[in-house]
Structure 1
Amino acid sequence: MTIAFFAESNAGTRTLPRSLATKAGGFVFVSGQVARDENGDLIVGEIDAQTRQTMMNVAHALALAGCTLEDVVKTTVWLDDARDFDDFNRVYSEFFPGNKPARSTTQAKNMVGTKVEIEAIAYKP
């Protein structure tokens, strides 16, 4: 089995001791993404804006490994505030209009103070 590691490229996360994504065989594991823009700055704003940016970051990490959101089979989501669940789901569903991946969602305090963090597992043989 071939394993490939895709390095962090975002200025805000480049120094973290992790890979942005790791491809192992047909699986791609995307590290937890938060609402950072391309300059590494955290997006300020409500759950809608943060979810949208976070999902764009997940899509970017997947693209590095030759995948798209259509290849995602599982996501894990951490929300800072459970009251954001409905608004989060509204935006999240825009990124998965067809088949929906399996998902776990829990409430937890994020290490960098964002409202949402998302990690993903994709499969593309």
Structure 2
Amino acid sequence: MSRTVIASDAAPKAIGPYSQAVQVGNTIYTSGQIPLDPATGELVAGDIAAQAHRVFDNLKAVIEAAGASFSDVVRVGIYLTDLSNFAAVNAVMTEYFQPPYPARSTIGVAALPRGAQVEVDLVLVRG
């Protein structure tokens, strides 16, 4: 199967040797997004809700570049440096997703790049 790299200037450039997203067949895999401002490349200021909004906005830009939307998402991976932020991230997530919700994992981690509090990756299936 062919592999297509997905990229959006409306999301932060990759900070390592990876693509923002890759499509294989009708499945799209996004790389994890942290709350970087795409204009400055800097971590956004604010609480976990502000960081989560930036992450989901970054992901929206990437998946829209693939011609997809949050309704195509089948799995969400969330990584938190503090699991006490679980409810706040849930609240932000409901602003981007409608039922039926995708499958999801939430994993507590010791640290994330650039001192971020949250990182999210997605798997989408189109068609």
Give the alignment's TM-score, normalised by structure 1.
0.91
In the alignment, the residues of structure 2 paired with residue 13 and residue 35 of structure 1 have an alpha-carbon distance, to the nearest angstrom, of 12
> Structure 1: any 5+ residue segments left out of the alignment?
none
Identity among equivalent positions (%) equals: 30
Q: Are 1:38 and 2:38 counterparts? A: yes
Residue of structure 1 equivalent to 2:75: 74
Shift of 1:9: 4.0
- 8 Å CA contact 2:14–2:20 kept in 1: the answer is no
Instruction: Note the 1:1-125 alignment, pairs <5 A.
Output: 1-7=1-7, 9=9, 13-39=13-39, 40-108=41-109, 109-125=111-127
Q: How many residues align?
A: 125
Secondary structure of the structure 2 residue equivalent to 1:32: coil
Secondary structure of the structure 2 residue equivalent to 1:70: helix
Shift of 1:2: 2.4
Structure-2 change in CA distance of 1:12 and 1:56 (3 Å): closer
- 8 Å CA contact 1:29–1:120 kept in 2: the answer is yes
- 8 Å CA contact 2:20–2:62 kept in 1: the answer is yes
Secondary structure of the structure 1 residue equivalent to 2:43: coil
Structure-2 change in CA distance of 1:56 and 1:42 (3 Å): same
In the alignment, the residues of structure 2 paired with residue 86 and residue 77 of structure 1 have an alpha-carbon distance, to the nearest angstrom, of 12
In the alignment, the residues of structure 1 paired with residue 43 and residue 69 of structure 2 have an alpha-carbon distance, to the nearest angstrom, of 23
Shift of 1:122: 0.3
In the alignment, the residues of structure 2 paired with residue 8 and residue 95 of structure 1 have an alpha-carbon distance, to the nearest angstrom, of 19
In the alignment, the residues of structure 1 paired with residue 107 and residue 31 of structure 2 have an alpha-carbon distance, to the nearest angstrom, of 17
